[in-house]
Structure 1
Amino acid sequence: MTAPLPAGFRVTLDPDTKQLREDLWFGGSPARVLRLTAAGRRAWRELADGPVTSPAAGALARRLTDAGFAHPVPPGPAAPADLTVVVPVLDRPGPLARCLASLDGRHPVLVVDDGSADPAAVAAVAAAHGAKLVRRDVNGGPGAARNTALEHVSTELVAFVDSDCVADGDWADRLAAHFADPLLAAVAPRVRALAPDTAAGRYTRAASSLDLGDRPARVAPRTRMSYVPTAALVARRAALTAVGAFDPELRVGEDVDLVWRLHAAGHRVRYEPDVHVGHREPATWRELLGRRVRYGTSAAPLAKRHPGNLAPLVLHPWPALTVAALLARRPLLASAGFGGAVLAMLKTLRAHDIPAEGVVRAMGTAVHQTWLGAGRYGTQFAAPVLAALLVPRGWGRRAAVASLLLGPPLTRWLSERPGVDPVRYTAGALADDIAYGTGVWAGCLTHRTAAPVLPEIAWRPLRVDSKEKRGSA
């Protein structure tokens, strides 16, 4: 049985959580319906009024936070945590100096020089800021450098921060408060882009791939937040050691691999966006898109190491049929597909005694999300094919293909209203996605696998967690 969330923790509901009835909740990631027993409802009344004080409330809090219905709010830190800050670096003494200067000095700092060409410059910066230095004679990559650091760390917690980051204030201690949960292995802050005032920099400030947004989340494969970058991360040293720490064979994607191995071992990993760390971003499109290509190359080795964790596109049959029919300008078939989606969902809801209000709107949202997902998938992995389809005559086909290409970035622009005009934002997003997809294809060829580009069909329209499966909840 999973340990309950400890006494003193509070929970805050996720914005997507909806109470359908006193005993029925909808939300989570992946989305599901949760049925509460009478004991579960009593436990929720305790949680709604304050922190965990009973085993029943702790058990419910664990289930809600594990499923994504709610997020834990830890007791505040009473004192600085038992923590060491680790900064791996390869050359770049200037950014390293800014990084070390930004730290608040409440914790020891260990700099790992991962085979820099000018070790004296790195050593001078470390000494100027009172940081201990460990030198690796041969460059092994970020994972190997962090593993070397763990050999020299004795504190309970370790805070990894990259040398091109600026970590102001008490960021590490605020994250360390979450470790009052004994199951927590790691927690990451929000990484905000520190980008120059160039075209690439302005786009990155609006859509950095390291910035995972303003919503807290449990981090686990096949959920809304499947990974966190280790540009900034606070972790329990014992948990890292137990799973073998970072895989030194991975030069890219080592952070994703670590998170997924921690999850497989039964640990919890969380994303806490109320805590921010800045990250220096590329100034040119060449640097930015080159980095995205490198990120993409990690998909293939990750897919081989973690089968089933990486799905570039998940399609539900009825919404997918509806979108395909709309793109093909087959309104009758699209209507039939949408009707099938509504009827399939109604059948599932009635079988589990779940209210059916709002089904039509929910299926409309599902169709919309399927269209956006298909568009981004096509841009990342089949952009030349979509571009070729724009050439033949026929405004209907051109409009359909253009909607797949332009729909996802324009929808994001309308939703987020970043500080970039829609034309430049859309062009940047298309280049970003194509660069990432290029890297994925390159990795697939190198590792001889097509897993990272294969869509997946999800046949079950909705997950329902019954009281029998959920025990007292």
Structure 2
Amino acid sequence: MTAARTDPDRPSATTPSGPADRRLPDGFRVVLDRRTRRLDGGAALLGGAPPRLVHLSARARALLPAPGRPLVVTGPTERSLARTLLDAGLAHPVPDAPAGITAAEVTVVVPVKDRPLDRLLAALAGTGVAGPVVVDDGSADPEPLRRAVERAGGTVLRHDTPRGPAAARNAGLAAATTPFVVFLDSDVVPEPGWLDPLLAHLADPAVGLVAPRIVASEPERGGGLRGAVGRYEAVRSSLDLGPDPALIVPRSRVAYVPSAAMLVRVSAVGPVAFDPRMHVAEDVDLVLRLHAAGWAMRFEPVARVAHDHRTHPGEWLRRKAFYGTGAAPLARRHPGAVPPVILSPWTAAVCLLLLAQRRGATALAAVVTGVATERLSRKLPRLDHPRRGAALLTALGLSGALWQTASALTRHFWPVAALACLVSRRARRAVVAAALAEGLTDWWRHRDRDPRVRTGPLLHLLAHRLDDLAYGAGLWWGAVEHRTSAPLRPTGPGARP
């Protein structure tokens, strides 16, 4: 007899096929994303996830509401337009739309090990959700946890030895009898009103997963606003995906959502949602599988869940490095889905020419940009002003490429950049310029993300650079451990995961 081999790069969790019904119900409302640009008076829309240019028919253009006003589904034409806008990430559902789904149809699953749940259980009381299913993943003293959960009307499942959070969530999912499950980690506390905006998205039968915004908890709750690291994490945590709603799509602004808090449709994720062999990035793996199966996923920042961010510098840096190690197994399981940078040939050429820091190279970069703009304008004959539209697209593409290049030098490829700095003055200038420009721009973009804290530019710059160094170290360590260069290989926008 021979033992069956298991391939660690092949997911052991499978995802059922995509939604059988994608029809939006009457009364469903969508509103254009604030980043969506109207070109030629609304004849075309630019934006989405990933960014694209969508031409509208005369009928669709007439139905498009004024900025800030919703499009209401009242018939087949509105239904088709709303579906197109949602699937492209050009618009988002209005989160107060009734879904016809009650909290009683939701089970909360909490994996925990050696941590009290008093705050989380208190926050769940009175929400109407089915009694929480708490999976004790090998706690040293399980009795206090069992008593607290039973007092709250919940159920405790026990793993005598730790199996990891993915296996614990799967165990809770298997015990749930409701059509929807919310996964909450033991270090989060939902804020009042968190559930209804998530349920509203389920009125769209194509949605298989919805995630709330994760913010720093208050200091008196033992949370993440203490000290320099705490203030930085409050505005720049990798768990906090920002104040804007988004379609969750690989290689877009919101490419993943953390499993610390997410609502799933059980029929979408199947009986085994998370790969139990993964102890990091199992949530990203789930998102990638749902996307490949054809399910839509939504990030809803109106729903907020507070999280106890790590604030001790050593623990914080170790966690960032740990996150970085997840890129290698993800890149091998899902080729092209998690590249360090995504550059078209012409933007890659321009970035390389600018990095050369020579007058002739800079002039050539301008020529390449001009040629790319002209060639693109010829592909936009349906626009009234194709060169104007091409110039806008080119500017957006180049700014994104420069941002990615600066970030890659200080995050994904900092070991290579550091070696280059030892032998090249130009490399030192490029890395210093990238570190300062990207770091200060990052501070400007995120400085007001949490009104409870203020981070100065120097503190943010230092913490951001340490954040990137730790993540990059984990990224390279994972690549070496898994013997793959997959998470380090750039890709182009035409390649699809």
**TM-score scaled by length of structure 2:** 0.86
1:213-242: CA deviation from partner (whole Å, max 9, x where unpaired) = 111111121222111111111111121216
SS at match of 2:22: coil
1:171 matched to 2:191? The reply is no
Map of 2:307 onto structure 1: 279
Instruction: Work out which of the residue numbers 23, 32, 47 in structure 1 matches 2:52.
Output: 32
- How far apart are residue 326 of structure 1 and its match? 2.6
1:80 matched to 2:102? The reply is yes
Superposed CA RMSD in Å reads 2.4
- How far apart are residue 78 of structure 1 and its match? 6.0
Aligned counterparts of 1:350 and 1:384: Cα–Cα separation in 2: 41
1:233 matched to 2:262? The reply is yes
The 8 Å contact of residues 371 and 404 in structure 1, kept in 2 or not, is answered as no
Percent identity between the two aligned chains: 41
SS at match of 2:208: strand
Aligned counterparts of 1:104 and 1:230: Cα–Cα separation in 2: 21
Map of 1:41 onto structure 2: 61
SS at match of 1:340: helix
Letter of the 1:66 partner, please give it. Answer: D
1:411-453: CA deviation from partner (whole Å, max 9, x where unpaired) = 1112332521212211111111111111111211222211101
1:98 matched to 2:127? The reply is no
Which 5+ residue runs of structure 1 have no aligned equivalent? Answer: 464-473
Task: Decide which moves more: 371-380 or 349-358.
Answer: 349-358
Map of 2:459 onto structure 1: 424
1:65-115: CA deviation from partner (whole Å, max 9, x where unpaired) = 11111112252356733111111101112xx21111122432121111111
1:366-408: CA deviation from partner (whole Å, max 9, x where unpaired) = 33332221121122233244345545685x6533220122221
| Number of equivalent positions | 457
Map of 2:439 onto structure 1: 409
The 8 Å contact of residues 193 and 279 in structure 1, kept in 2 or not, is answered as yes
1:124-180: CA deviation from partner (whole Å, max 9, x where unpaired) = 322343322111222111111111011211111111111100112231232112111
Trace 1:166-245 onto structure 2 (pairs within 5 A).
Answer: 166-194=189-217, 195-241=224-270, 244-245=272-273
1:145 matched to 2:168? The reply is yes
SS at match of 1:146: helix
SS at match of 2:168: helix
Task: Decide which moves more: 265-274 or 384-393.
Answer: 384-393
Aligned counterparts of 2:469 and 2:85: Cα–Cα separation in 1: 37
Trace 1:312-461 onto structure 2 (pairs within 5 A).
Answer: 312-353=340-381, 354=383, 355=385, 356-357=387-388, 359-360=390-391, 362-390=393-421, 394=425, 397-417=427-447, 419-458=454-493
SS at match of 2:413: helix
Letter of the 1:370 partner, please give it. Answer: A
- How far apart are residue 248 of structure 1 and its match? 0.6
Aligned counterparts of 1:159 and 1:5: Cα–Cα separation in 2: 23
SS at match of 2:147: helix
Aligned counterparts of 2:494 and 2:189: Cα–Cα separation in 1: 45
Aligned counterparts of 1:142 and 1:67: Cα–Cα separation in 2: 33
Map of 1:470 onto structure 2: none
Letter of the 1:18 partner, please give it. Answer: R
CA 130–340 in structure 1, closer or farther in 2 if over 3 Å, else same: same
CA 334–322 in structure 1, closer or farther in 2 if over 3 Å, else same: farther
Aligned counterparts of 2:79 and 2:389: Cα–Cα separation in 1: 32
The 8 Å contact of residues 71 and 82 in structure 2, kept in 1 or not, is answered as no
Aligned counterparts of 2:180 and 2:420: Cα–Cα separation in 1: 53
Which 5+ residue runs of structure 2 have no aligned equivalent? Answer: 1-19, 218-223, 449-453
SS at match of 1:189: strand
The 8 Å contact of residues 99 and 203 in structure 2, kept in 1 or not, is answered as no
CA 218–352 in structure 1, closer or farther in 2 if over 3 Å, else same: same
**TM-score scaled by length of structure 1:** 0.90
Map of 1:471 onto structure 2: none
Task: Decide which moves more: 262-271 or 332-341.
Answer: 332-341
